[in-house]
Amino acid sequence: MATIHVSRSAAWCADVGDAAGSDPGDVSLKDERKGERGPHGGDVSLKDARNGERGPHGAARSFFAMMAAAVALSLAACGGDKAGVKADTKPEPSDGVKASINAKFVDPNLDVQTWTKRFEREHREVFKHRSAIVTTLGLREGSVVADIGAGTGAFTAELAQRVGAQGRVFALEISPKFVEHLEARVASEGLTQVTVKLSEPDDVTLAASSVDVAFLCDTYHHLEHPPLILATIFAALKPGGRLVIVDFHRIPGKTRQWLLEHVRAGQEVFAKEITDAGFERLPDPPHDFLVENYLMVFKRP
């Protein structure tokens, strides 16, 4: 049986300031084999879309099939497994970003060397100031920190050093190639206190109440399902644990165009999403070394 498949095709990521261009991530309808899923497992498959059936009532059937698909597609976009939409599919995120923003990262052919050069260069503000950023996390020997969207590991060694041999760093990624790279990197650098984990776009996959600090650098604007993943971060933090977000300022009229297009919303929108998820905002720690990025801290009450 044919399906309608909402595909997310190749996209771009301009997090490191190298990007002209626009996001070609599209939503297109195409036939797809039943059961096939995209790299995120988050594609919306709707059964019997275009129907290949022909016969005396073929035109009417086509019409009703298309109508049914359209209704189901709207329900899926609203976020539910309602009205017969396949229960094992996830909706196209309506409150986060299109999954296409992460398409490059989850691509099995990702060229890690290229991204290492982009993420780990001294004129990238957050990399240049990684040590000062990590200081704002207030880690102690023995702390447990989750680096959510660890990328190539720009912060891994710094975090590992701060928590010491008795602490734990969870380096979480949705990109299998970055996970592979991170595993090789922590092994070669002897960072035994680092656990690399392939996590889900909507789930950090960490044990409840196990983490002191959750850290996202240039990752929040990549989240495809903010409310869902925030709930899992909340659960993974110990009561009193902190969530630290570093992300790009996005100020219309001031921020350059590529960033305005790439980052879906500004600091206060993100802050509200996080407080809506039950976190309490804490005063910003000093971070005047950052110009292009802000840094904000929340607490799990």
- To ligand SAM, the closest distance from the beta carbon of 282 in angstroms equals 21
Query: Which one, of 36, 56, 54, 55, lies nearest residue 46 by Cα?
Result: 36
Alpha carbon of 198 to those of 30, 46, 147, 170: distances in Å? 29, 27, 12, 10
Among 169, 172, 206, 243, binds ligand SAM (CB under 6 A): 172
Examine residue 93 and tell whether it contacts ligand SAM (CB under 6 A): no
Q: Which residues face 5 on adjacent strands? A: 30, 45
Query: Whose structure tokens read 């680096």?
Result: 147
Examine residue 293 and tell whether it contacts ligand SAM (CB under 6 A): no
Examine residue 154 and tell whether it contacts ligand SAM (CB under 6 A): yes
Query: Which one, of 283, 144, 166, lies nearest residue 215 by Cα?
Result: 144
Among 12, 170, 178, 279, binds ligand SAM (CB under 6 A): 178
Examine residue 236 and tell whether it contacts ligand SAM (CB under 6 A): no
- To ligand SAM, the closest distance from the beta carbon of 69 in angstroms equals 28
247/265 Cα distance (integer angstroms): 10
249-255, long-range: CB < 8 A, 24+ apart: 249/292, 249/293, 249/294
Q: How many Cβ atoms sit within 10 Å of the Cβ of residue 231?
A: 16
Among residue numbers 187 through 216, which ones bind ligand SAM (CB under 6 A)?
Answer: 199, 201
Among 229, 230, 233, 244, binds ligand SAM (CB under 6 A): 229
Among 6, 11, 15, 242, binds ligand SAM (CB under 6 A): 15
Binding site for ligand SAM (CB under 6 A): 15, 102, 105, 119, 126, 148-151, 154, 172-175, 178, 199, 201, 217-219, 222-223, 229
